[in-house]
Structure 1
Amino acid sequence: MLAALLAVGMFAGPVYLAWLAATWLQPVVERELIAPLQSLAVALSLPHWLQAPLTGGYGLLTLGVYSFLWAFPVVLLVGISVAMVEETGLKDRMASALDPWLRRIGLDSRDLMPVLTGYGCNVVAVHQSRACGACSRRACVSLIAFGSACSYQIGASLSLFGSAGRPGLFLPYLLLLFLVGGVHTRLWHGRGHDQRQSTSPLTERAFLQWPSARAIFWRVRAILKQFLLQAMPLFLGICVVAAALEQLGVLAHLGQWLAPALRWVGLPVDAAPALVFSIIRKDGMLALNAADGAILHGMSGMQVFIAVWLMSTFSACLVTLWTVGRELGWRTAWQLSWRQMATAVGSAIILANL
């Protein structure tokens, strides 16, 4: 139990501090950077097809900056937390204590750190899963994609619950994400060949020591390098693609196509575009805040909860799926995607009928 509490505290504290920092910085960045850039684009009379990918809703200079603002503090602070736990030797103690629990859902002790890192950035966590056992890596990545709420997902969820006047739903949401994530991993990976071939349990207690500032610096440096050179370029590329699809009307048509399915879980058809955007990026669910939150205010508390739940679990974001495809193969990425959709829709239907 102590190891479980420490594992929760490892990301809960840094994520909360990062959220406070991003909440304070966002209006400053909007006022001092984004607004002047948008005004400059208007003053230069740039054509609409050029303004959209630069300063539109999914533009490089708007959503790209916003994405960095919400993600970087979480990646930095979670990286420091993980580095300290690794350098002190607590990581191995935690992994050893939680190993029996992890094996119940098809993982082992080496899969713990990537799952926790996913609360900063899923892309970085997928790269870190290279340290997992060969037999449990796919199960670990599956849990990261479904249950590790990245910085964008956490920020967007907090924003939506707050806009709906129901901030108290955030903690039950995180708890359900943890529980259903474990069931999801157990369902698809817990009883197969990978489980029988996993490594033997840890038996020796790790040595504990004071952390070295230099060692922590180099560990955090490596995490930030991965984020800036591998994750951020993909995020910016997705911004350009999303802006193009929005201008072509593709996203609107997809939203209309998904609208009937939303009725299965008791959601209004106005929520369809937000579901489409959430597949591209987790913070795409913020489209529910359109028209000063009119869509949210027309929902009951349970509808708000189901909407956030479905949009945050229906699919891993395109950047994560792209990374999984490059790391484990496109067949694995496709398999991970449809399995996650099945679990997300099934759990949403159960919630809607409770």
Structure 2
Amino acid sequence: MSNNQQPNNPKLNLWRDVRFWRFAGQFLAVLIAAIVVAILWGNLNRNLQQLGIQPGFGFLNSQAAFDIGETLISYAPSDTYSRALLVGLVNSLRVMVVGIILTTIVGITAGIARLSDNWLVRKLALVYVEIFRNTPLLLQLLFWYFAVFLTLPKVENPISVLGFIRLSQNGLELPGIQFSPEFSTLLIGITLYTGAFIAEIVRGGIQSVSRGQWEAAASLGLKPGLAMRLVIFPQALRVIIPPLTSQYLNLAKNSSLAVAIGYPDIYLVASTTFNQTGRAVEVMLLIMTIYLTISLIISLVMNLFNKSVQLKER
């Protein structure tokens, strides 16, 4: 063996392997996190035992004994806390799903309007974005509730819009559908607030498409509106979807501000449950798990959608 050759030492190679150190770092981080959680959980159990409280979720089978003003599924005060929390969850999902649909429509419309050739449309979209994006959501909700819905005429003399929409202190009424003032306030508030952020995301996504794509669409004889729908916007989606996912997640979490106007979402129902049972830890764990699950579902769906619009390399 020549002097320039080094013996093949597996241990020496292992310590120089970047992959080993990455794995070791991740393992150490997980170990530290597990130790911290174990310490906190142990302290929690000891504190609860000193207070004479046995941790558990058995209270969910007890009678709730409180009313919920707005329900989509059957509920009575004689039902259990688990049923009450389910009612609150359904109410939250109602706001989230409808809100995501409406805020997408508002955001896309305002984002395209921000690039309109019409000066008035462009400036109106700019005013909308700047006002709603730079005002706290809680302040907007309080405005819609106290300054708008509570000042509307009584139900006997409603305001008619477009002949089939009626507005009163009883809320928003459509043929066959009645929305309470609390639900209407929350829906309008989170829709317009989140829509302002989405509008800027859409504007940036459209502007990221090269000018050559517009010229190519025009050379094919496509009108601007058709070019936007068939050529520009599909390409802009690759830039729009990632930040759009964040706004959907923000909307889902911001729906918890319903407590400020009395809409019985999962957070409000859980707060009432905590006040009556004193089970702060268990109730908070339930709320955290519910919001985490909803956020993960939204992220999963949007990631799948994002993959479907990306360029496929051969």
Q: Same fold (TM over 0.5)?
A: no
TM-score, structure 2 normalization = 0.29
Larger Rg: 2
Higher helix share: 1
The TM-score, its normalising length taken from structure 1, stands at 0.26
